[in-house]
Amino acid sequence: MTFTLCTEKPQPNVPQQVATRLAFFIAGLGMAAWAPLVPFAKTRIDIDDASLGMLLLCIGVGSIMAMPLTGLLTSKFGCKRVILLAGIALCIDLPLLALMDSALGMALALLFFGAAIGMVDVAMNIQAVVVERTSGRAMMSGFHGFFSIGGIVGAGGVSALLWLGVSPLQATLCAVVIILTLLSIASKNLLRENGGDQEGSMFVLPRGWVMLIGLLCFIMFLAEGSMLDWSALFLTTQRGMDHNQAGLGYALFSIAMTLGRLNGDRIVNTVGRYQVLIMGSLCAALGLVLAISLDNVTASLTGFMLVGLGASNVVPILFTAAGNQTTMPANLAIASVTTVGYTGILAGPALIGFIAQISSLTFAFACVAALLMIVTVSAKAITR
């Protein structure tokens, strides 16, 4: 399957760059708004950790189903229509996540939620590639930084509203109003048309070093997904934190990751990719160890912040390595690494649910920390 990058005849200017940043912000806000709702959903439906893991898997299934379709839709209709369509779908679905009181209803809502997030993600990244390419300078880290800022606003804002006594439904409606407002502002500068450059197959099996890089991306995205879907539940069940405040864990994780991303280029240029890869993955692993080792809310929150800080610049380095290797063409390598990596953030958290059911959520987090150490010991090979 092939897809075409969307372009417009005029080169993207500052307003189009702003529109791209808003698209990333919307995606981060919409995705993170779900994190504080997880404990409420679990209590409302009255399910165990394994069943919750199965429900969370629906997010990944929805995204994986939507991504190939999004490539085709974007090629045919342009980024603007796809981003607007997915954004509106997200606004329709968010309130359903706060209302569904049956496992089947929640599964369908999460499937729809994953599809909307997956569509926004693919379309905004295609737009970002075009804007970056025509601008003649690196901009991708900044775009992804706005995704993280959206995550802070989504998780922190919804958590704050819940803490103030606002119902989950009312909190999601506030998020919907923000998303619709930003979509309206960005819409006139989103890219409309498609160009003629082919970017290769949407699905390419990674080979050689690319397979290793893809697996390391899987681990990093799995760590990020564990924070999104399980940090709030960990704080409520293992640390006794109030449900209305539990979203603070993911909010602090997002803040730390955002600060790391906004300073990432300068840090890499100063100390080098090898040192950042080692120290970043090690910091993330130690953060999880701290979070699960001390029976203290402050220690757990600090640990989640260390995970965000450490993980922030590892994935960009892995993508750079994928582009520099010679086993596969760079564009095919990056496409395959992206596919494998997103499997970690979308489907990986369901694995944590199964491990938590068999043992405990604490042990599941310990397994993620052990996987992060694989990234640490692979740093030399990846950056050689």
Q: What is the pLDDT of residues 231-251, one digit of tens each?
A: 888 999 888 888 878 888 888
Question: What is the secondary structure of 10-78 as a DSSP string?
Answer: SPP-HHHHHHHHHHHHHHHHHHHTTGGGHHHHHHHHT--HHHHHHHHHHHHHHHHHHHHHHHHHHHHH-
Check: CATH 1.20.1250.20 for 205-384? yes
Decide: residue 39, CB within 10 A, 0-12 exposed, 13-18 middle, 19+ buried.
buried
**More confident position, 133 or 288:** 288
Q: Which of helix, strand or coil describes residue 263? A: coil
Domain ranges of the chain: 9-191, 205-384
Domains 9-191 and 205-384 alike in fold: yes
Q: What is the pLDDT of residues 65-110, one digit of tens each?
A: 787 677 677 777 878 888 999 999 999 999 999 899 888 999 999 9
CATH says 9-191 is which class? mainly alpha
Predicted structure pTM score = 0.70
Q: What is the pLDDT of residues 191-220, one digit of tens each?
A: 775 433 444 444 556 667 788 988 998 999
| Average pLDDT, integer, range 281-302 | 94
